[in-house]
Chains A and B, each alone.
Chain A
Amino acid sequence: MKSNILRSLTIFFLIFFSYVYLGQQKNICGIFLAEINDYDLQIYTIENQFSIKQPLNILCNGSIVEMNQENEFLVISVSKRLYFITAQILVPFITFLIIKKINFLNFILIIITNTFLVHLIFNFNFGLNYFNSISINQTLFLLLLKFLVEHEK
């Protein structure tokens, strides 16, 4: 009962967060790379200026800072540090900790949630890759580690 409430609350907050997040993004950041369909453009990155003074910049990962059609390049704002910490450590570990019992269904759920969150935070298109490579690799690692601790000792 308790875990069901916790799970429902987590899903509710995820949806709520996504709603607020996506709503705010448009107003603050402008166009995102995900909306551009020109494959010939060269892409460069610039470090996202996210800080305590400018916290809303966190929403603008993947937004276009400069676009030059003549020279066929565009510059996008990305926080590589945030990408590393969030996508590769926080998201997989937190989702994994929330779901304690490991079975096939939960495992798939973790991967889908991780993939969704990583796509959401970094404004990647869905369907870019078959699954998110990072989510799968890190989740498989965590699964194995959990199995290792529980069964091999």
Chain B
Amino acid sequence: MKNNYFTYRVFVGILLIALIDYDIFPVLMVFYLLFLIFKKEEISLLGYQKRVIKFFVFNFLIFLRFFPIFQNKYFYFWNNIFQQNYLFGDGKFYAENIFFDLQLFFISLGCNDTLSFNKSPYILRYSGYYLEDSKYQCPYKIPYGEVLNNLNISYEFIWQATLIVAFLSLIIFYIVYLDLVANRSSRDFLVVTTIFLSPPINFLTARLNIDLIIFIFLYFAFKYLKNSNLLNILIFFISLLKFYPAILIFADMLLKLLKRDYKRLFTPFILSILSIYYFFIFDSNYDSVSFFAKTTESHRAFGVLNDILYITKLFNLNILFVTIVLVGLIFYFINLDLINKNFYFDNEQIKIIIMFFFISFFVNYDYRLIVLLLLLKNYSIFQNKIFLSSYLIFIYSSPTLLHTYTKYYILTLQDEFYFFDFSFYLFLVICFRIMINSLKNIKKVNS
């Protein structure tokens, strides 16, 4: 197998472009990836070449995010390495509101501290550099799980907590990356690397939403907890922060029913009941979901419900009619039988895909696509070119590049353009088809 210097150099060249202007990066990378997937001859990277790429990923995920925080004159790195989803002023992105979601998360915990009420407002870091100060005054509640209303940190500790948790999360995320690329072929090494640098992951690590922390817990739980009861209990506790991981427990119950494994059904059944009870008993849980029952920024969100709401609004149609048409189209394509019938998800992947289906029905910001990285652990599914390419096109078009309409960014920001993401539906249909094959196979094996 000959070493392919050209492939390596082009790859590194595209990576370097991500440092200059990340908005150019997804377009070039998606073409490169398709070339890589459909290239017939194998490629082989040398040890030092892999080390160079790993070093780049370390710098991209950790060093370039933290160095400017301590040396503020290098803030322009933040402008370069992030997709400019949130634009201010005259269409430029400024390095403000660093790790925005995590800061909000800790403001919410800080406001639970009874001593916080007479304190001066928290000024978002680094608010006020370019724009007016963004101030947050208690009481403030972030729309996540009810359990967060019972936790608190010192109000003075919000920024320090943000930095510590962000640093640890990104370090562990990098360890996950190293774990996933270990012992992979050169092609798979490159593909996994690009997934870690993709737009939804970039979006997530800029905002530092707690979805990253949830992902880390789920990744290590799936890796090390072989006892399904312990795994379900851990997932239950994680779902107290945000509800969606609880679907993994429901999926586990479904799998056990299909396998007629009634003896081990008790724990997931009880945990499912508890999850439903937890969700419905507190208004704050319900509020966090109902927050999304409206059209939500199609250029950086995905979900069938979101599309239904947009199309209904756009054409003044009946919501039921639009739902029937859209769901009908999905089922039509599923029925086309576009993928090989001997192609299955394993049990863990079935649970993850069921969770993906669940969240796909509602409205989610694109950073939640991090849950799809859980599929990478068992890489066999990615040997299928169709699955892999639909997966990559979907994540590389989420968020879209609509914000790069410079002068028209205001129109995008005001949600004036509706973007219908075909690649989302294609990926959904392919997953659905493989899911049907997988469930049929389980039933056949156990009958």
Contacts and interface: CB of A to CB of B under 8 A. Distances in A.
B413 to A, nearest CB: 10
A123 to B, nearest CB: 10
Contact of A153 (B90, B338, B407): B338
Given A80-B416, A141-B426, A152-B340, A40 B404 contact: no
A108 B426 CA distance: 22
Given A133-B400, A144-B393, A144-B426, A42 B410 contact: yes
A124 B405 contact: yes
Interface stretch (A4-12, A19-27, A51-59, A81-89): A81-89
Interface in B24-49: 24, 27, 30, 34
A81 B393 contact: no
Contacts of B340: 152
B interface, size bucket: 35 or more
Nearest to A45: B416
Contacts of B164: none
A133 B423 contact: no
A interface secondary structure, majority:
helix
Nearest to A138: B422
Contacts of A64: none
A128 B386 contact: no
B406 interface: yes
Given A81-B315, A130-B23, A138-B422, A144 B390 contact: yes
A148 interface: yes
B24 A130 contact: yes
Contact of B393 (A42, A80, A140): A140
Contact of B397 (A45, A78, A128, A140): A140
Contact of B405 (A84, A128, A136): A128
B117 interface: no
A142 B423 CA distance: 9
A17 to B, nearest CB: 24
B338 A128 contact: no
B422 A137 contact: yes
A13 B393 CA distance: 32
Nearest to A40: B90
A120 interface: no
Interface centre among A44, A133, A142, by most chain B C-beta atoms within 10 angstroms, is A133
6 tightest Cβ-Cβ pairs between the two chains A and B: A133-B401, A129-B404, A141-B422, A137-B397, A39-B90, A141-B423
Interface of B: 23-24, 27, 30, 34, 90-91, 314-315, 336-340, 386, 389-390, 393, 397, 400-402, 404-408, 410-411, 414, 416-423, 426
18 contacts: A33-B408, A39-B407, A43-B408, A43-B414, A80-B314, A88-B420, A124-B408, A130-B404, A133-B400, A133-B401, A136-B397, A137-B400, A137-B421, A140-B423, A141-B393, A142-B422, A144-B386, A149-B336
